[in-house]
Amino acid sequence: MRRLMRRLLPYPMMTATLLGVWLLLNESVAPGTIILGGVLSVATAATLCVLDLPGGRFRRPQAALSLLGVVLVDILRSNWAVAKIILRPGGGGRVSGFLRIPLDLRAPYGLATLACIVTATPGTVWVAYDRRRNTILLHILDLVDEQEWIDTIKGRYETRLMELFE
Amino acid sequence: MILTLLMGTIFLTQIMLVVAMAFATFRVLRGPRAQDRVLGLDTLYVTATMLLLTFGIRNGSILYFEAALIIALLGFVSTAALAKFLMRGEVIE
Amino acid sequence: MNNHLADLPAWAAIPAALLLLAGAVLTLIGTVGLLRFGSFYQRVHAPTLGSTLGIGCILLASMLVFSVLESRAILHEVLITALMVVTTPITLMLLARAALYRDRSEGSDEVPPPPSGQDARASGTPQSQSGPDGGQAV
């Protein structure tokens, strides 16, 4: 029975998400919509087996909520900061450049989440990841104090992501 | 009174979004390099999505939201394909 | 054409108008940055304003208007938000990586060199997997 379940539903979270998106798109919870969406999402999730996705663990929804709050606040703050930089006349005195940061996080989904957070925050863009040395290369618009940026990335995001994914 | 205010705001919003699209188009045309053009095109897509959303609010029609969804999706796929092309010179490997 | 907005009470209309204005102003500032900044890597930062908070404000305004009017469900906005959250970072990351690859293969001194020459394939940067003709100047 368990083996049958595993073959039918290899990625239960993915199947549930796909079904949710299908219902949102159709804006209805009629039985026919649910049946068709269920069949489609089970079939789509089953084809994902071909891709052989890396396994990962995800724990502690409360920690995820606190991370979400931190990220939202940071997006608000850095929107303001980048808007000020853009509107500053002349544009003198601003230094922007690349910054290499060593990481302790190694979980693949954690790294993917970190990449999305860093890039979605205005003022920082994730450029490359070095798997052997576990360092990332960022481009930062307002690179005045390198250590402050390293502390921000490692302190605010990386520790929380390591709680979540490792 | 409130209705006039809201309609005026929506109109102003649309004007600003169109100006933003014009700036993005300028970056597409001007370059100077291919990655700048792709960046301008991506900005153009996002701004077009926002413009369609404001049209949806103004007219109360659901069709605009479907169109916004499709533009957002196609914009993502095309930018990803163009970035792939810039990196390797071919889209499908 | 406009009667559906006439039913909107003032306590919902004023926040919606402010959200719309904020979103449009942010997007406009972002594209101004796209015009003003000098190098590609600086310009990558500019449109993030519009694609995070800008579109977020406009989606919030839309949700507010339609949930107060109760003329239709707000589910499409949820979908567009989710789509934007997932896709915006991916496109910008891909573009930044492509630009880095092109600049490195042209030997530009604006970008830092790859971390180590001999195992660039393992480093996750596309350095060693060269394209058919390296950096094609377009």
Whether residue B18 lies within 8 A of chain C, CB to CB, comes out as no
Tens of pLDDT, residue by residue over C18-46, are: 999 999 999 999 999 888 888 888 888 88
pLDDT at A99: 86
Evaluate whether residue B80 is within a structural domain.
yes
**Number of structural domains chain B divides into:** 1
Whether residue C78 lies within 8 A of chain A, CB to CB, comes out as yes
pLDDT at A112: 86
Evaluate whether residue B60 is within a structural domain.
yes
Report the distance separating Cα A108 and Cα C4, nearest Å: 48
* Cβ(A33)–Cβ(A26) below 8 Å: yes
| Residue in chain C lying closest to A95 (CA) | C42
Structural domain of B23? 2-88
Chain B, 61 to 80: residues with Cβ < 8 Å from chain C are 62, 65-66, 68-69, 72-73, 75-76, 79-80
Give C73's pLDDT tier (boundaries 50, 70, 90). Answer: low
Following DSSP, what letter does each residue of A69-115 receive, concatenated?
HHHHHHHHHHHHHHHHHHHSSS-TT---EEEEEE-----HHHHHHHH
Evaluate whether residue B93 is within a structural domain.
no
φ and ψ of C53, to 5 deg:
-75, -35
* Cβ(B7)–Cβ(C2) below 8 Å: yes
Whether residue B54 lies within 8 A of chain C, CB to CB, comes out as yes
Tens of pLDDT, residue by residue over A71-130, are: 899 889 889 888 888 888 776 567 788 888 888 888 888 888 888 888 888 888 888 888
What are chain A's domains?
Answer: 2-51 (no CATH), 61-165 (3.30.1370)
Cross-chain residue pair B16–C28, CB shorter than 8 Å: yes
What is the separation, in whole angstroms, between the first and last Cα of chain A?
30
Residue appearing with tokens 């900044």: C37
Q: Which residues of A touch C115 (CB under 8 A)?
A: 100, 130, 132-133, 135
Side-chain half-sphere exposure of C45, counting CA atoms within 13 A:
32
Looking up residue B36, the CATH number of its domain turns out to be 1.10.287
Supply the pTM of this predicted model: 0.82
| ipTM value | 0.85
Evaluate whether residue B38 is within a structural domain.
yes
Report the distance separating Cα C107 and Cα C101, nearest Å: 10
Evaluate whether residue B26 is within a structural domain.
yes
Tell me which residue of B72, A159, A91 sits closest to C78, measured CA to CA.
Answer: B72
Report the distance separating Cα B82 and Cα C99, nearest Å: 12
- Assess whether the previous peptide bond of C126 is cis (omega < 30° from 0): no
* Cβ(B51)–Cβ(B21) below 8 Å: yes
Evaluate whether residue B6 is within a structural domain.
yes
Both structure tokens of B44: 């153009």
